[in-house]
Structure 1
Amino acid sequence: MKNTPPPFVGFGLGLRTCYFEEILDTEPNVDWFEIISENYFVSGGKPWHYLSQIKERYPIVMHGVSMSIGSTSDVNFDYLAKLKKTIERVQPLWVSDHLCFSSLGEFNSHDLLPMPYTEESLDHLSQRLSIVQDYLQRPLILENVSSYLTYEVSEMSEWAFLAELHKRTQCQFLLDINNIYVSARNHDFAPQEFIDAIPESAIAQIHLAGHSDFGSHIIDTHDQPICDEVWQLFEQFAKARMPVNTMIERDDNFPSFKEIMAELEQARGLAPASWSKHEYA
């Protein structure tokens, strides 16, 4: 499976039900929308009613939350069949999910748990990624997750693990800068070191989001405005790298559409002028 970065199409938003009507009424200056894949596994209903209209006007990408690609259980082909059917119906520009595990057998944590960063995990993920991509007949982009624990068995840093996975498989990453910041605060490492270690050729998309700060630790809640430190990390990234598709992600405590559009415009404003040139047609 050939894994190359998708074309730069600009700045996007997570498509959430509370914004459906306003998007259709106002046709905002958004370059693309990202949907949660599992929300569209059903055959009809409100999500499809609105998505069918929105995708006539905007490119769509798909982002999954429950593949659990890192699990050691058998590959869930029932899940993959639903995902493939949805991909065929949506025709997204690209498809992503999380580099993590969330289930083992009948157990489901309902959380995105980090992998142990070992050679064994690298071999396991390389094999699983190949199986999934062959079944879907398209590349799968993987997102780094936020974490609140580390493993004693880990043999390398998370960023070294991602860089090596890319070297072995040419896989692409959805770099969530907020998740990097959350993990950096929780585990006391420099977030810029993480970002600098990921090859430019490996980054397909960026997520920008907010979190909840409890002082001694922070939780990736995606229900707050993007903090200054995450904006600064994004600005440094944008000045140093080629254009990367960038999205504002909000999953709860939704602000007005005007407020979330203001964050999108802030992202545009922090990026160099070269990031405004689209290759998508």
Structure 2
Amino acid sequence: MILSAEGLRVTRAGRVLLQVPHLVVAPGEVLAVLGANGAGKSTLLRCLSGELRPDGGEVRLLGRPLPQWPARGMARHRAVMPQASALAFPLRAREVAALGRIPWGGGDAGVEAALAAAGAEHLAERWYGTLSGGEAQRVQLARVLAQLHGTPPGRSLLMLDEPTASLDLRHQHRILEVARARAAEGAAVVMVLHDLHLAARHATHVLLLREGVPLAAGPAREMLDAALLSATYGVRLRRVPDAVGGATIFVPG
């Protein structure tokens, strides 16, 4: 396995925000974390990435507890794309993507390929601060892809927090297709999503969170069930066929 967690617990002011007894992400898996606003999705991702130390439990990367990893070593195996990234200094898009090479001592190995994979090569010479939200998101994807360049896919973890925010439909699918392609090479992917249709098309596994507690977890085809999703989101959903793409979608009612 690439990522595992046992007994995760996060509390604030005596209130439990997150309680995840067990979680495993294996090579080749694309795990979509789904749930309503405030369900604990981003909190879970922050714990799994090492950004937030839980009040209880343990997270392991490649079998090693996160606190035992040196920062540079962890960064060579685990890359995180947050919901939004602000920069205090003026940099061009290519320079932002090249920030992913810092754990490797700098350089530009893999940067051009990462920009191309993210559909951002034409943005390379643009100032990052002038980019739209969607363009900036694609550059950030290039950064995390460049960060993992040189690490065997089977020892790589890509973490994406709402990666499709601010993107048009074409680029939403492109980003998730890139993530799925990395998984097909053997990497593990964990992503927070809001769009059930995107999860159905691109995830291999799904974790359903409600009020910080897993409601269910397993293969996507089993988790994307109208009854389970209705309980997760607190609204009645029904499954309907998508006449255009042939995929399954869920609508209220």
TM-score by length of 2: 0.41
Higher relative contact order (CA 8 A, sep 6+): 2
Higher strand share: 2
Higher helix share: 1
